[in-house]
Chains A and B, each alone.
Chain A
Amino acid sequence: KAGVTQTPRYLIKTRGQQVTLSCSPISGHRSVSWYQQTPGQGLQFLFEYFSETQRNKGNFPGRFSGRQFSNSRSEMNVSTLELGDSALYLCASSANTGTSGDTQYFGPGTRLTVL
Chain B
Amino acid sequence: GNSVTQMEGPVTLSEEAFLTINCTYTATGYPSLFWYVQYPGEGLQLLLKATKADDKGSNKGFEATYRKETTSFHLEKGSVQVSDSAVYFCALKNGGATNKLIFGTGTLLAVQP
Contact = CB atoms under 8 A, between A and B. Distances in A.
Contact of A106 (B44, B95, B106): B44
| Residue of A101, A105, A107 contacting most chain B CB atoms (<10 Å) | A101
Contact of A107 (B30, B43, B95, B104): B43
B100 A100 contact: no
A48 B98 contact: yes
A15 interface: no
B106 A45 contact: no
Nearest to B43: A106
Interface residues of B, number: 25
Contacts, number: 61
Interface of B: 30-32, 34, 36, 42-46, 49, 51, 89, 93, 95, 97-106
Given A45-B101, A50-B97, A104-B101, 8 more contacts: A31-B99, A33-B99, A42-B103, A58-B100, A100-B31, A100-B32, A104-B46, A106-B36
27 contacts: A31-B99, A33-B100, A35-B101, A42-B105, A43-B89, A43-B101, A43-B103, A45-B101, A45-B102, A48-B98, A55-B97, A55-B98, A58-B100, A90-B44, A94-B99, A96-B99, A100-B51, A100-B95, A101-B32, A101-B49, A102-B93, A103-B46, A103-B49, A106-B36, A106-B43, A108-B42, A109-B42
